[in-house]
Structure 1
Amino acid sequence: MSARLDHVPRDWCAVESDRIAALLERRGQVAGPVVFGAGFGPSGLPHVGTVSEVVRTSFVRRAFEEATGRSTRLVVVADDMDALRKVPDTVPDRAALTPHLGMPLHRVPDPWGVAPSLAEGMVDRLRRVLDVMEVDCEVVRSSDLYRSGRHDSAIRAFLADFAEVNALVGASVGALRRRSYSIVMPVSPHTGRVVEHTRVLDVDPHRGTITYEIPRDVVIQRPGLDHGLEPHEYYAGEPIGEPVTVSALGGGGKFQWKADWALRLLSGDIAYEMHGQDLADSARVVRQVFERLRREPPVLFEYGLFVDERGRKISKTVGNGFALDDAIGCLTREGLRMLLYRKPRRPRRFDLASVLRADDAVRHEARLAGDPRRGAGARLRLRRIGATAPPGGPRFGTLVRVLAACAPVDHAAAVAFVERVFPPGRRPEPDLVARAWRFHLHARPAPRSAVLDTTATTVLRRLADALASAPHADPGVLLHKALDGHPDAYRPLYLALLGRPHGPRLATWLRITGTRRSLALVRDALSRAVPPSDRSEGGSP
């Protein structure tokens, strides 16, 4: 294999590696580990956008290590100091979290009652996904960085030029918001809330303190409300219009998120980080902050957003789009990594169809890689995603179509159908069958109601009686006896048992489903069937 594989055309990881090397040369950073960063807002369930940011950064990290031989770190910071501004739609008992609005996420209880806090539960979920994806990284909490003093030196740099930096960042928000905007949000000594609406009266960079007041004349807009709130309504228990002096160091304050992003990059000496297209303007503000502080900003890579089937951005608080846990259950690790590797700047739908294509894309690349003269690009892509062995057996798409045609009722039936369709030498791995079964559960259409005429009802009752009286008999043979003289009953039987007008041979389907399960399904079909008299005839009543 060529030693110059990193320069295969269209390998975006190699391009990013070169950009990082150029940055380090400008910074004069010739020793020590190079730090790659990523951020995570733990206010809602991690989604594919969150994971893509970390996994894609890990691709670039490995490319950089291969090209330079330098040591690296990948640090993922969970912003658990952020305030709970809106109760996510994806949590149970949402009303129980409403009293905690405005509190730092690490002090909001876990609605599932498992983790110490809402933030910690979301961090645990992200950590499990990254472990499945085999991403080597450090996950740290923003609250630990603030309270330990790790940010203090950078905070003093911001305070030393507070007026200019505050005006610079504040220019990116609306005129109404600027009336009560400060890059430093104090953690209230009275209620423990993150105070977002302040007027800073004084800054002491030497002591690291700010003096602020919550203005009396500000109107506060909150997500989900179609009207503004008065300060005394939103900040109950806080002194309104009175000066308060607090330390901005050691966790006494938390930066507004654009300034917080710049603070985290500066304090962590980050060389490379990614962000979505929706944060392009915020990334521009971050670069301006670095320029104002006379520091060299890190390399920031803008990636395309993941959208749902309706083209809407996938959101962790709304929970739209294909759930990440479900995707991981259907996709192989290599399939998901290939999905994230390809064309990262392009917006991408994340739905069932994309899952189907992603798993087979790895097989396609493995086939291309077998060409010794023209397969260098494919071999590089497989190495980037960590694919160690070419997949065997049938394609994932073929396996999914087999299950769709056979309509198995459970995983055991799915395995039995697969074993009937594929000879021993071509059978897929059990893990792939399990993933195809989970995909089938998501993709199969809702069953259609069956309208049973007298003949179909008679056949089903005969079959039920036969299955109940002869539990050890061949269900296929019992079916033929029940159908005796009524060959036209097949279509309503398919609708009654499978929820569709066609499918595999019913005798085979009953044998694989088993007598006990078949009897339960027949009885259920009889209980759910729509009598002909209830059938809508259309037209005017």
Structure 2
Amino acid sequence: MSVRLDRVAHDWCAVESGRITALLERRGQDAGPVVFGAGFGPSGIPHIGTVSEVVRTSFVRRAFEEATGRGTRLVVVADDLDALRKVPDNVPAHRALAAHLGMPLHRVPDPWDQAPSLAEGMVDRLRRVLDLVEVDCEVVRSSDLYRAGHHDSTIRAFLADFAGVNALVGRSVGALRRKSYSILMPLSPTTGRVIEHTRVLAVDPGRGTLTYEIPKDVIIQRPGLDYGLEPHEYYADEPIGEPVTVSALGGGCKFQWKADWALRLLSGDVAYEMHGQDLADSARVVRQVFARLRREPPVLFEYGLFVDERGRKISKSVGNGFALDDALDCLTRDGLRLLLYGRPRRPRRFDLASVPRINDAVHHETRAAREPRRGAGARLRLRRIGATTPPRGPRFGSVVRLLAACAPLDHAGAVAFVERVFPPDRRPDPELVARAWRFHERARPAPEPVDLDAAATTVLRRLAYALASAPHADPGVLLHKALEGDPGAYRVLYLALLGRPRGPRLATWLRITGSRRSLALVRDALSRTAPPSVRSEGGSS
């Protein structure tokens, strides 16, 4: 009996596709490409939450295309016109960046000096990640959309009901912030910075202008400060308490982010977008804005947050949790995509310790998919993530455990141990070995200190002498000669060479590591002084 994949239980992508189809019917939108959206704040290094939003949306996009045959676009908008409000903790050049607080992100210098701006550097990072996980999308910049007039007609609609929309969004902020809150933030004609604290004096929808002042009588609270600032302190080079008229069109103003989210969805005619659980209240405001403007809101899907090993939300400004670069070094493409497909509404822990489980889940699904009657769910999941080549050879976790037991010093040593243990027809893919090695580098414990008593020093000196005197001899043979039948010396050798009291057969390890590197490790152990620790109690290999 065949099973329709789109009718398998828990196919959330098919459910979302149906919601989008119903939305398009309500909108009367039966022609043209259907737009799927995503937003990205390029003020900090992209993290797994950003990537998950785009990848998961791409899953829904493909399900919709399969179900309807309609053309689609996936547009990721980088909000590079937003202000730099806080210097991220995980970037260099803090003092230099602090001098640009309040400036649009596309005018803040890149702290690594590798891109024209901070925003452009973060966009480049996001592009590289999306290319690695094979997501087909367009990445555009908010500054380009504003300046090109892409939002102008929608901005005029906001201006026509400015008081109502501004009050609606303003109710979502605190009482103190509300005193100087406006959905429109002018770009200063004087300094170019984003003016976030204004009192709007007048708007002209016909001319598309805004007249505002920076009020004298407000206290400005900034992230990281325990005290408030006077307007003349925060806006030192701006006129305070004086009316200023600017254009709200063509990039003369930028919307506060909740209103900006609604603006972007309206202007882009977006049908579907995702957001984290932490933005549930903001999504509610966005829907209220659509209702006030008598427009049908897109389908907004709320997903569970990613948390670090301490249960804290992973944040790009803090830089906590499993760094995305490290994750991509260790995770397979299909492992990451399968993680992002499964149960998207559930919060997930994302840390280094999760890597073997994430990668090996693809093996589990591949095995389950072979079941003719009970494997429909697994076949669906593999299809949704685009897994075309079944994994072969041992699991990632098996390779990781092998490396942990054998303690290779480098990637070449890892390959040698893998080739020694696994027969040719069962050897893992070289790329999997490389990822396992990179995981091993990050996960292995710090070496234990070596406490050299007189007997241990004598053993190490004998081995050093043997390795130096016969560099081309078999290191395993030299080892046995240096030990002179003393099995109690193995423990100190393990500590000196591997940084732990036990390990693989030392003769094999020395042959794979090589005489030169082994000699360097022995000499390094002899040169180090270590605090007192547990004396060698003997042991054997």
Q: Bin the TM-score by the shorter chain.
A: over 0.9
Matched position secondary structure for 1:365: helix
Matched, 1:267 2:261: no
Which residue is 2:79 aligned to? 79
Query: How far does residue 2 in structure 1 lie from its aligned partner after superposition?
Result: 4.8
**How does 1:213-362 map onto structure 2 within 5 Å?**
213-362=213-362
Query: How far does residue 536 in structure 1 lie from its aligned partner after superposition?
Result: 8.8
CA 1:535–1:434: 2 relative to 1, 3 Å: closer
Which residue is 1:425 aligned to? 425
Matched, 1:61 2:61: yes
Matched, 1:467 2:459: no
Query: How far does residue 70 in structure 1 lie from its aligned partner after superposition?
Result: 0.5
C-alpha separation in 2, matches of 1:155 and 1:528: 68
Kept in 1, the 8 Å contact 2:183–2:256? The answer is yes
Kindly provide the amino acid, as one letter, of the partner of residue 110 in structure 1: D
Which residue is 2:497 aligned to? 497
Matched position secondary structure for 1:24: helix
Q: Percent identity?
A: 84
Which residue is 2:375 aligned to? 375
CA 1:216–1:137: 2 relative to 1, 3 Å: same
C-alpha separation in 1, matches of 2:533 and 2:51: 49
Which residue is 2:140 aligned to? 140
C-alpha separation in 2, matches of 1:529 and 1:378: 55
C-alpha separation in 1, matches of 2:447 and 2:74: 47
Kindly provide the amino acid, as one letter, of the partner of residue 109 in structure 2: P
C-alpha separation in 2, matches of 1:354 and 1:455: 42
C-alpha separation in 2, matches of 1:524 and 1:13: 57
C-alpha separation in 1, matches of 2:394 and 2:40: 38
Kept in 1, the 8 Å contact 2:35–2:269? The answer is yes
Query: How far does residue 3 in structure 1 lie from its aligned partner after superposition?
Result: 7.3
C-alpha separation in 2, matches of 1:9 and 1:494: 53
Gaps of 5+ in 1: none
Which residue is 1:161 aligned to? 161
Matched position secondary structure for 2:224: coil
Matched, 1:24 2:24: yes
Query: How far does residue 530 in structure 1 lie from its aligned partner after superposition?
Result: 2.6
CA 1:371–1:112: 2 relative to 1, 3 Å: same
Gaps of 5+ in 2: 536-541
C-alpha separation in 2, matches of 1:103 and 1:113: 18
C-alpha separation in 2, matches of 1:300 and 1:258: 14
Which residue is 2:538 aligned to? none
C-alpha separation in 2, matches of 1:77 and 1:4: 35
Matched, 1:189 2:182: no
Matched, 1:7 2:7: yes
Kindly provide the amino acid, as one letter, of the partner of residue 13 in structure 1: C
Query: How far does residue 485 in structure 1 lie from its aligned partner after superposition?
Result: 3.8
Matched, 1:40 2:40: yes
C-alpha separation in 1, matches of 2:269 and 2:528: 64
Kindly provide the amino acid, as one letter, of the partner of residue 80 in structure 1: D
Matched position secondary structure for 2:315: coil
| Equivalent residues, number | 535
Matched position secondary structure for 1:56: helix
**How does 1:94-173 map onto structure 2 within 5 Å?**
94-173=94-173
1:195-229 residue CA offsets vs partner (Å, 9 max, x unmatched): 00000000101111110000001100001100000
Kept in 2, the 8 Å contact 1:455–1:486? The answer is no
Kindly provide the amino acid, as one letter, of the partner of residue 31 in structure 1: A
Kept in 2, the 8 Å contact 1:76–1:137? The answer is yes
Query: How far does residue 356 in structure 1 lie from its aligned partner after superposition?
Result: 1.2
C-alpha separation in 2, matches of 1:339 and 1:144: 34
Kept in 2, the 8 Å contact 1:464–1:519? The answer is yes
Query: How far does residue 527 in structure 1 lie from its aligned partner after superposition?
Result: 1.7
C-alpha separation in 1, matches of 2:415 and 2:4: 44
Query: How far does residue 529 in structure 1 lie from its aligned partner after superposition?
Result: 4.6
Matched, 1:198 2:198: yes
Kept in 1, the 8 Å contact 2:451–2:534? The answer is no
Matched position secondary structure for 1:127: helix
TM-score, scaled to structure 2: 0.98
Kept in 2, the 8 Å contact 1:83–1:194? The answer is yes
Matched, 1:435 2:435: yes
C-alpha separation in 2, matches of 1:141 and 1:7: 38
Kept in 2, the 8 Å contact 1:277–1:304? The answer is yes
C-alpha separation in 2, matches of 1:239 and 1:347: 46
Query: How far does residue 63 in structure 1 lie from its aligned partner after superposition?
Result: 0.3
Kindly provide the amino acid, as one letter, of the partner of residue 249 in structure 2: L
C-alpha separation in 1, matches of 2:476 and 2:210: 81
Matched position secondary structure for 1:102: coil
1:488-510 residue CA offsets vs partner (Å, 9 max, x unmatched): 11112111211111110111111
Query: How far does residue 178 in structure 1 lie from its aligned partner after superposition?
Result: 0.1
Matched position secondary structure for 1:54: helix
Kept in 2, the 8 Å contact 1:83–1:103? The answer is yes
Matched position secondary structure for 1:100: coil
Which residue is 1:414 aligned to? 414
Kindly provide the amino acid, as one letter, of the partner of residue 330 in structure 1: C
Runs of 4+ in 1 over 3 A off after TM superposition: 534-537
1:432-477 residue CA offsets vs partner (Å, 9 max, x unmatched): 0000000101110111111122111111111111111111011111
C-alpha separation in 2, matches of 1:355 and 1:205: 54
C-alpha separation in 1, matches of 2:526 and 2:280: 58
Kept in 1, the 8 Å contact 2:155–2:263? The answer is yes
Kept in 2, the 8 Å contact 1:305–1:346? The answer is yes
Kept in 1, the 8 Å contact 2:36–2:73? The answer is yes
Matched position secondary structure for 1:310: coil
Query: How far does residue 353 in structure 1 lie from its aligned partner after superposition?
Result: 2.5
C-alpha separation in 1, matches of 2:81 and 2:379: 43
C-alpha separation in 2, matches of 1:445 and 1:249: 57
C-alpha separation in 1, matches of 2:316 and 2:528: 38
Kept in 1, the 8 Å contact 2:3–2:376? The answer is no
Kept in 2, the 8 Å contact 1:496–1:529? The answer is no
**How does 1:470-489 map onto structure 2 within 5 Å?**
470-489=470-489
